[in-house]
A = this chain, B = another copy of it.
Amino acid sequence: MTGPRYTRLAETLPSDVPFVGPEVQERRMGRPFRARLGANESVFGPSPKAIEALHAAAPDVWMYADATSHALKQALAAEMGARPENIVIGGGIDGLLGNLVRLLVEPGDPVVTSKGAYPTFNYHVTGFGGMLHKVPFRDDREDLPALIDRARETRAKLIYLSNPDNPMGSWYAGREIEAALDTLPEGTLLLLDEAYIEFAPEGTAPRIDPDDPRVIRMRTFSKARGMAGLRVGYATGAPALIRAFDKVRDHFGMTRPAQAAALAALQDAGWLAQVQDAVAASRDRIGRIGRAHGLTPLPSATNFVALDCGGDGAHAKAVLDALVARGVFVRMPFEAPQNRCIRVSCGRPADLDVFEEVLPLALADVKAAAAG
């Protein structure tokens, strides 16, 4: 008895997980983290109106959700200055990335991203056999002109740009992206990942006609809206591209409570403003805590701060491991030179109290190990 016959592509793929989640680490350690500051979740939670909507939706989960997400699309169209035809809803940006890559990328097709940018995008490109071309960050920022040049050289079908950027927290002004659009090679789609846009300064979001066929922008309810565990993302783009998602998406794949909660969250601008304020205050405090112990915070337009540990990747990894061992869940960039930093998500005052308590102990652990 033999097993199934996989595709040639599937045979080549690793059974990798892009990220190891905090629950897996907690089971390995045998105890829970004291502060969960590693996944850029919003510890501040969702709008109370979204939580109400979840409670209200609980008895209705026997029904499949509306496969067209009609009500949510209407609300997002208003939010984005677009029409419902410009919008597709999916299982977080991750799910939408998978759909988009499947629509565009076949084995050998070139795709451009930054070295050290979002690994789940790379996972999807590799998963469909695409050829990734990686451009180094410049001054801790994704290098937009170089990405476009590389796309021209390689005839890439797709460029990935996150603005603001994960894992460094850097950003472009919207007008710089608007100007760059006119330098895009013909037939290259710019994928603009705006997962963190709600935390960025005014003017960071470019003004782009939603019907512009050169760009697709993706946003999420996982970050500022505090609903990572509900998997709601959305993309805006030209109607022909948006319609194409219907060729490959899992039409009945959205959960009913998630759609209800997203709709309710959109109607609570006050909560969003509170979270934005709390995140700004938290960023400042993470910076102060880092500086107090010799780390250098990078400017951030997101809900996390990259702290330069002042050494190489191995040093930052030692700091990270020491923090994790002492119960603080944080992550760090994968690639040099960004991996001289650790990445700390914003938290409530109590979470940052733990970070403030543990950081000097972790740094002392690292120093002792180096001396020992």
Contacts and interface: CB of A to CB of B under 8 A. Distances in A.
Given A63-B36, A229-B63, A189 B15 contact: no
Contact of A229 (B36, B65, B95, B102): B65
A247 interface: yes
How big is the A interface, by class? 35 or more
Contacts of A1: 186, 212-214
A35 interface: no
A331 interface: no
Contacts of A17: 67, 246, 251
B231 A257 contact: no
Interface string A1-38: 11111111110011111110101100100000000100
A65 to B, nearest CB: 5
| Count of identical protomers in the assembly | 2
Contacts of A256: 229-230
Contacts of A6: 103-104, 244
A54 B61 contact: yes
A227 to B, nearest CB: 5
A149 to B, nearest CB: 19
Given A3-B213, A7-B103, A127-B248, A62 B186 contact: no
B43 A243 contact: no
Interface stretch (A44-52, A132-140, A362-370): A44-52
A23 B59 CA distance: 17
A158 interface: yes
Contacts of A91: 91, 250, 253
Contacts of A94: 250, 252-253
Nearest to A260: B229
Contact of A70 (B23, B213, B238): B23
A308 interface: no
B227 A61 contact: yes
Given A19-B67, A247-B14, A250-B98, A257 B54 contact: yes
A246 B15 contact: yes
Interface centre among A4, A5, A42, A62 (most CB of B within 10 A): A4
27 contacts: A4-B104, A4-B187, A4-B213, A4-B241, A6-B244, A7-B102, A7-B103, A7-B104, A8-B106, A9-B106, A10-B103, A21-B64, A24-B68, A36-B63, A46-B61, A51-B61, A54-B54, A54-B55, A54-B61, A61-B227, A62-B227, A64-B229, A65-B229, A91-B250, A91-B253, A231-B255, A257-B257
* Top-4 shortest CB links A-B: A229-B256, A3-B213, A23-B66, A13-B247
Given A5-B187, A51-B61, A54-B55, 17 more contacts: A3-B213, A4-B103, A4-B241, A13-B247, A15-B243, A19-B251, A23-B66, A23-B68, A24-B70, A39-B63, A46-B62, A55-B55, A60-B229, A61-B226, A229-B256, A230-B256, A255-B257
Interface of A: 1-10, 13-19, 21, 23-24, 27, 36, 39, 41-46, 50-51, 54-55, 57-68, 70, 91-92, 94-95, 98, 102-106, 109, 127, 157-158, 186-187, 189, 212-214, 222, 226-231, 238, 240-241, 243-244, 246-248, 250-258, 261
